[in-house]
Amino acid sequence: MQSRTFGDAGQAFPIYITVVGGLLFLAFAYFAVGQAAANRNDAQTAADAAALAAAQEKRDQLTGAWIQNLLDPTKWQDIFDGEAEGLGLSCWRADQLAAKNDATVLSCAPNGLLGYTVVVETNDTVGESIVPGTEDKKSREAATAVIEPRCSFELPAEEAKDEDLPLLTCDGREWKLAPKGPHHLLPKPEDLFDVHLAD
């Protein structure tokens, strides 16, 4: 009776080892998947931040152009549509934000007149795991940020005085602009434009 029990235990031991080995393999596999997912999340975070930074930089440039042309309302709509003289590329801001998130910008380009698309790659690799090749694998993700004007206005009638400026309405708030008033009373970039990630 005892020898049969010992024999049963001896037969069960290899099965136990196999089951434990399988569970350990699954645990390492799940860990590798988790590593890869975390690395991809880091890449997406960096891409989002970089695209938003580039779009916000262009928003600030457009705001500057609007202030420069404050006395010429005929140019306002072009500026709100993303067109103005002297605008520069904003990808340097994308580079800065990607670096802060431990990533590198692979490409950065305007997406229409009011947007930027950025592709980044993580500086860190997924790391060593049971999945071959992950030790050198980096994650790459893309993001697009868009700029949307918040404001509307109507040009003054032809008989209006030169110093009369249009009433600017931004998300329901009215701005009565005074040409000779202090600039700190003018709308801020975030009042004029909304910047957000594209859906």
> What would the pLDDT profile of 74-128 be if each residue is shown by its tens digit?
999 999 999 999 999 999 999 999 999 999 999 999 999 999 999 999 998 765 5
Q: What are the tokens at 198?
A: 């594209």
User: Coil, helix or strand for 159?
Assistant: coil
Task: Check if the beta carbon of residue 120 is closer than 8 Å to that of residue 98.
Answer: yes
* Residue 19 reports pLDDT greater than 80: no
CA distance 69 to 16: 79
* Residue 171 reports pLDDT greater than 70: yes
Question: Tens digit of pLDDT for each residue in 23-46?
Answer: 555 554 544 555 666 668 899 999
**Whose CA is closest to 148, among 73, 55, 30?**
55
Task: Check if the beta carbon of residue 167 is closer than 8 Å to that of residue 153.
Answer: yes
CA distance 77 to 152: 9
Among the ranges given (13-27, 46-60, 111-125, 136-150), the one the predictor scored with the smallest mean pLDDT = 13-27
Q: Return all residues near 74 (Cβ < 8 A) that are at least 6 apart.
A: 155
Return the pLDDT at 38: 66
Q: To the nearest whole number, what is the mean pLDDT of the chain?
A: 83
Q: What are the tokens at 104?
A: 């590198």
Return the pLDDT at 1: 47
Return the pLDDT at 16: 61
Task: Check if the beta carbon of residue 16 is closer than 8 Å to that of residue 80.
Answer: no
Instruction: State mean pLDDT over 8-27.
Output: 60
Residue holding tokens 């080892």? 17
Return the pLDDT at 155: 86
**Whose CA is closest to 143, among 112, 175, 108, 101?**
108
Stated pTM of the model: 0.76
* Residue 55 reports pLDDT greater than 90: yes
* Residue 130 reports pLDDT greater than 50: no
